[in-house]
Structure 1
Amino acid sequence: MSDILLLDWAIMAVSLFNTILLTWLGLTVVFNSERRDWGVWIATVGLLLGALFFVSHTAIIGLGLTNLTWRNMIFWWTAGLVPAIMLPFAWYIIMLWYAGYWNVPRNRLYRRQRIWLVVTTGMLLFGLAALFAGVVLLAFPAPELNPLRGFIRYSIAGIPLLAAGYSAYVLLCIGLSLDALRQPATSRRVMGLVARRRAQPWLSSASLALMVVTLLVTGVVLWIVQDARQRTFLEIYLEAQLTIAILDLLISSIIAVVIVLLGRAVVSYEVFTGKTLPRGGLKRQWRQAVMLAIGYGIAIGGTIAVQLRPLYSLLLTAMLMTFFFAMVSWRTFAERERYIAQLRPFVASNRLVEQLIAQTDPQEVDFITPFYALCADVLDARVAYLAALGPMAPLVESPISYPASASPLPSLANITDRFSGDENEMISLDADEFGAAIWAIPLWSERGLSGVLLLGEKSDRGLYTQEEIEIARVISERLIDTHASAEMSRRLMEIQRQRLAQSQIIDQKTRRVLHDDILPDIQAALIALSGAAANGQAGNEKTDLALKLMTDAHKQISDLLHDMPTTTAPEVARLGFITAFQRVVENEFSTVFDEVGWNISPEAKVAAKTLPTLTAEVVFYAAREVVRNAAKHGRGGQAERPLTLTITIQHTDQLTIAINDNGVGLGNSDTAGSGQGLALHSTMMAVVGGEVVVNTAAHQFTRVTLNVPVIPSPVFASNA
């Protein structure tokens, strides 16, 4: 103590501040680590050793150096000197580990630092041995240990070897740490390179501050050692008590800056925990811990400085802890309310049922507003794109861009190959290639990859937090699923309305044809035949007329029956998809094509048998619709044009049915239909997890590929 109230108060407050934050950081690193490997444990031990040092420092300052008993002095000095010796080396090891020194294969950092690592390790062991020897000499002042005392007091040019060695050791550790941070190895984390680049200024600043601390400590040690040649340390302390107190406050304050810089790197970029992304909650807790350390340090430091009675200090501590607990509860509740307010646009109903029943335009189903709310209010992204992939792509036509003025998104055909299927996966992108987007987040469903969310930089150029990406992933998956479901429902209801209208037309046509055409003809034929029979003659003219009328009626009834759809689902269930499909092509379309070629692999035959009945029927009808379109429109109204059909069925990771014809191409026939049939079957294929891919070239070919998952769709597993 310096006997100056404000100075003693400041020293105690800073010491308590450092103790609390180092303890919090040490426990936070080990509790929140993704994988508690040896590097995490070293970082934890190093931070807790720093806390132990300031525990010793606080105890010595609070008790007073001159008031310590012999045993208390040995205990607290040992508790403080052990961390003082180990901490520089621990910092060096942590920076090496963070910079990738032990990455495999060996890198330039390893080759550059391996000799120095051996040197600093030797110096650490020597320092710990010297500390142990000093403790033994203090505890057991026996004459036979005089040689050991002489060795410890050995000096070069009047400077004790231990003091010079410790100064060199600390400078070497901090200097090598700066070198490791300046040229680190490649990171193995997904966002490790970005996080390392963002955290490097904080860690480098902390190392530079530690270098300043080292120089100050070295200067103080050399000053005390030189002065101790003429008098004892106690005499030096009593005479320069104010100077030592000011230096103590200065060094502790610089270390407090180091802790704040290190804490910022830990909570903002997860430099030690191994997490792919930092967590915003951790940053908020860090701010609360800093506020607690400041408040507790000032309050309790003041009570110690003024020598307040322990009872009052205890009461003040209880009140202070209660206040901070209430404040944390309040902030937690406020954050919860803020999150609920941000998520409200995403959980609100889109009223899809009402819009579908009211037959509104599907564009009125608003998916833009929640996506814009996600990008602006939750992610704070400058640019974002949401695109559907896989089976969802035919149902969600174009990507959603944020903002509306964002650059058009190029093709995403090659991006799917880069996803490995990891739940927390993120891949980096070239901003020039993908419309200023720098991150791609895959979106998954039970059927596999359903889409991708592309994000540009945050508006504040920070990193996306773990919570933000998890929220963005869930909301984006829900938007794609809802959009696809709405489009699927709209298509099915639209087609159902058309089918109902067609059914009504067919019913009316049937009634009209039977009532107005067929029945009068049959009645006329009967009258004619009855008249001929009554006259006892079968005149050729009347007989011919009756036969003609009966023939026309027969033809009309045949045409009417021919227009009615046939039912083949029981054949699919009984024979299987491939056999039923082969039969329908041979029976209904063999005379339409000049040649029909089949190429079916044995693996495909086995896989087709595993399809659920519902899936097999959907694929059967879709394939038959493709063949029917080729038969009806392939020649383009030119009866003499050659038309061949090739059907290839293969199985790799899914069942693939490729149907090729050398016709005029899709949309190039004068008899081309509306495309509602193919739209219906594309929708049904999406329902069972498949997809329909159409490739065509004018007057050259049309290739339609049906991709079907071989695993039963979970949506219809109970119905299959």
Structure 2
Amino acid sequence: MTTDLEIFICSVFIFLSTNLFWLGSTTGTNLERKNAASYFSIFTLIVSSLLFSFSAIVGQNGFLVVSSFPILYFFPGLILLILIPFGWFVVIVWFFGFLKKKGIFLFLFYILAFCQLVAITILLIYNPGKTWNISLFEYWKFVPFSFKFAYLVYIFACVFLSLFCLFLFQISDNSLSELGRQKAIPFLKLIGFSLLGVVSLVSVLFVGEEFGIIENLILKAEKEPEYFYGFVLCIQLLICISILVLGWALTSYEILTGRILPKISLKQEWKNSVYTSFALSSLYFVFAKLGYPRAEIPIVFSYSFFLSRFFTMRKNKQVSSDQNEVLKRILSSGSVKLSFGYLCKDVLEATKAALIFQGKIPYISDTNIYYPENTPTETFDFSKIDPNPENPNIQYLDKDRFSDFVIRVKIESVLTGDAYLILGQKENGGLFAEEEIEIAQVTGTWLVHSLFLEETGNILEELQRKKIQEQRLSDQKTRQILHDEILPEIHSLILEISNDKSGNLDSQHANSLTELHKRISSLLREMSDTGLEISRLGLIPMLQKLQDSEAKDSSLIWEIDPNINSQTENYPPEVQEVLYYAFRESLRNAVKYSGESKSRIKIAIRYENGLFIQIKNEIGKDLISVRSSGQGLKIHSALLRIFQGSLTLEFPNSKEAMIRIFLPSSQI
């Protein structure tokens, strides 16, 4: 029976060691908040796993043999027994942010850390047998009650303070990170109570005899080890509960990694780890019963497996991170040519490449992109190339016939017809992988659509710019005809009728013509030419004049760069007119939503690599209604984009709104 219990205890140690090593390696793989506390948490998990592995390997020899080993063998384990409770305390106070608050828990952190140093120092100095070769059993007899009691107080303080933190924690807001911590608390409380149970059982083993609770089971274990093994199994059961719950909390809420959103795959991986650990423990139990107790075999196997998994995942994570960076550069480059260059250089690693269009839209068909950009333009005849029977979208080329191009990939696009990606050899002289070709096809399709939208946008902007110029000329021509041709002719007729003495011309007609002349003259005065006014007075004075017509009851505070007038004169007339109307709409919007208080409106105009206008006002209405308004601002924002300018509406806080207008100097 004693042998069966020893085998079972070693099996449980293997189970605990394997799962703890998985938790440590997984935390290291997914770690995001890289600081001293997080690394210490990983260290605690790993050394706990090593401690249980050592216990399994040594314990398979039986209690009598183990107790006769020199104490020197167990010295590292004694140090770990001091570090591990402190590690759990650090995990809790770090995860829930108590260390950052610099309060009582930070003070307790330093106190417990100092206690560790004192305890380790005592272990190094205290040598009752004057030699490190005395047995573990003899060493335990010499350990004084005060040291055992102090150790129990220390581990009780670590566990109790950790549990106390869980009851003190309150979420500061309803963000995902805070809600995740709150949902993890019940799991961590269960772990805390389980560890308190472990502390209680260890206390009974250590000082139960001194308090008259129970006989010293450790000394009694030499003759009757069953009771001692029973306590060990109870301790192992509570530790198993703690580790299983910790694994569930880590995979559900990422309590140790610092991630806000956990990975779905971790839950299944944790289940697989538990199943694997149970299988290894069971195999050890079976083989040990058959007379082959080799705990080191399942431990080495599990460590090797999880270490290889750890480095593989770290490598994959690094590769994925690099690919994401490349993808970000491709998507956010702002230029199809730059994106194509990133694709060829960082993803495909091609020495040269070309994106050739055979589209239905004329201006797309004439646009070809090359990498590097200085690659000379060439025309190839691909009609004589035999199609690839396995994949008709890929054709292999003779590099001597096609200027070092080796592969042609078809990119289908319903919008513009067909496009082809022609690739040269890889920089390292290798072959293109199937995944690289698939990425090239997908990215190439996106590039074709982006180029279509870019070219279409450029054409539409050019058409809109011409339309604005033509409309302006048309308005000027209409005013000129009314003023220079029609009004003088009407005026001549009025004079002719008025001077007629024969009576042939009716005075009533003269009055009608006079009234018509007044109406047309009034209409011309009302149809003031904003462009002419801007060119006569200047853009900035015209903006300031809007205070009288658009913001009579508001207090406008102007901050204008004294040299701004000379800068704005260089903008074309149609651009100044668009800026004027955009500013007028922005000012109206600020006045409208300032509310009944008619608060002050601050207007800043300066030149920073372009004309910059900022209008800031306090919000006198509900923020939601302000956000949902501003259709006029959207229209003027679109007009400014024609000239590469921008108009944005921002809310620095719930009481302020800010409009920014910017036109770059490149338009000058």
TM-score w.r.t. length of structure 1: 0.46
TM-score w.r.t. length of structure 2: 0.49
